[in-house]
Amino acid sequence: MATETARRKTGNAAEAAALRYLLDAGLEPVAANANYRGGELDLVMLDGTVLVFVEVRYRKSRAFGGGFASVDFAKRRKLVHAAQLFLLSHKQYAHAPCRFDVVEASGDANAPTLDWLQDAFRADDVS
């Protein structure tokens, strides 16, 4: 239980750092930690008129491919499914162009190094 709590705290710190980073880059927040059956969207933001679904992945080190590599086919499929459910429940974005980004956080969880991969994958890639 203590490990789960520590992992959640680390994940929350990484997500907060990623949110600040994306806000500084000019994105606007729409939702955070949007939970749907089978998946969660860490951050949903607007980049101009584009709705961006952001997956934040923290890894203490970049060994074994780091955070980007951890967003495998199964994870991408869950994210696309959660995004579809988000769009169904938020009709105002139903016709907005969408993209999937990944923010990799590494190092110190309280002051992580962040790398932002825009358009990390496409919904069509997991169909």
Q: For the chain, which residues make up each domain, given as ranges?
A: 2-126
The pLDDT of 14-43, averaged and rounded, is 95
Identify which of 82, 78, 123, 116 has the alpha carbon closest to the alpha carbon of residue 100: 123
Q: Which CATH code, of 3.40.50.880, 3.40.190.10, 3.40.1350.10, 3.30.70.100, is assigned to 2-126?
A: 3.40.1350.10
Identify which of 59, 48, 67 has the alpha carbon closest to the alpha carbon of residue 120: 67
Alpha helices, DSSP H, located in 70-123: 73-89
Residue 65 pLDDT > 80, yes or no? no
The pLDDT of 62-85, averaged and rounded, is 84
Residue 14 pLDDT > 60, yes or no? yes
The pLDDT of 31-45, averaged and rounded, is 93
Residue 8 pLDDT > 90, yes or no? no
Exposure string of 67-80, with b = 16+ CB inside 10 Å and e = fewer, is bbeebeeebbbbbb
Structure token pair of residue 95: 């016709």
Instruction: Determine if the pTM surpasses 0.85.
Output: yes
pLDDT of residue 66: 67
The pLDDT of 10-23, averaged and rounded, is 92
Of 40-49, 96-105, 118-127, least confident by mean pLDDT is: 118-127
CA torsion 9-2-63-110 (nearest 10°) is 30
